[in-house]
Amino acid sequence: MRLLLTGILLGFILMLPELLQQRQQSEQDKYILQAQQRPSDRNADTAQQKDNQRGTVVVTGSQSPLTEPMVHRAVGKRSEHESSYISIWNWQGLESVTATARGLDKLHHFANSYLVGFQPFETKDLWVPLYTLAIRKEYQYDHLQYAGLADIWQTSRQAYYQKRGDCEDHAILLADWLINLGVDARVALGTHKGEGHAWVVAIVNNTEYLLEATSKRRQSNWQAMPLAALAEGYDVEFQFNRNYFWAKTTSAPTRNYRGKHWIRKSQFIRG
């Protein structure tokens, strides 16, 4: 009997890694199912209409706020070609205080406003948002999707329901979802290997991770995420979350997303 029990115990120990792998696969399959479930087009349209992007930017060092109507008037004086690009705004002698971009409604909105507090479904695992993006959203350049327009941004909610999007659409959804999970996550704007790009920096346990939101590798382990300090080819200029917009104070490249070489330029107040 003792020999038999020993044999059963040994068999269970040998099977344990396989059982754990099956359990992990089962968890991943659950998230795949949730990620691939798409509501009807009518539900998607309704979800997009709920987003409130109106707001005001309070600029550090200025007594007067920058409002969306002011932006719309200024953009309205530009050509169709010029207004289709992201805009970095100077305000009352202060440089690079915020950014705006054209949304699906064809109007310019402040960058912060695209993070609308959207979470597709409940999860406690930090790897799930990036994993979901990898299996759900296809990468496509804006000018191919929007009749030649250079830059059209999707809100985090729209980015989840829209099948295709480019780098900032991926980054906006990823950052917003991680913020809902309690992570200090920001959308970073700059270049990657010399080309304009957007990605996400996430600060977890006082460590900065660089998350490539457009990656289609099905990552299921947060610990394998790359450290920002080791990520090559990324040159960040600005970063933002739901509330704040930061600009780099030096032209020198950096892999650090906090410190004296960053200044918080403005605060976005929704409503």
The string of pLDDT tens digits covering residues 44-58 is: 444 455 699 999 999
Residue 205 pLDDT greater than 80, yes or no: yes
Architecture of domain 36-270: Roll (3.10)
Residue 27 tokens, joined: 């968890």
Domain range list for the chain: 36-270
Q: How far apart are the C-alpha atoms of 145 and 43, rounded to whole Å?
A: 21
Residue 194: phi and psi, rounded to 5, are: 90, -5
pLDDT number for residue 221: 76
Most confident of 12-16, 20-24, 154-158: 154-158
The closest alpha carbon to 215, from 225, 229, 223, belongs to 225
Residue 142 pLDDT greater than 70, yes or no: no
Most confident of 10-14, 34-38, 74-78: 74-78
The closest alpha carbon to 71, from 21, 112, 120, belongs to 112
Average pLDDT over residues 233-246: 98
Count of beta carbons in the 10 Å neighbourhood of residue 211: 27
Residue 194 pLDDT greater than 90, yes or no: yes
Higher pLDDT, 171 or 216: 171
> How would DSSP label each residue in 30-79?
HHHHHHH----HHHHHHHHHT----EEEEETT-SS-EEHHHHHHHHHTS-
Name the strand (E) or helix (H) holding 13.
helix 2-36
pLDDT number for residue 37: 53
The string of pLDDT tens digits covering residues 20-44 is: 344 444 455 555 555 555 444 444 4
Average pLDDT over residues 249-265: 97
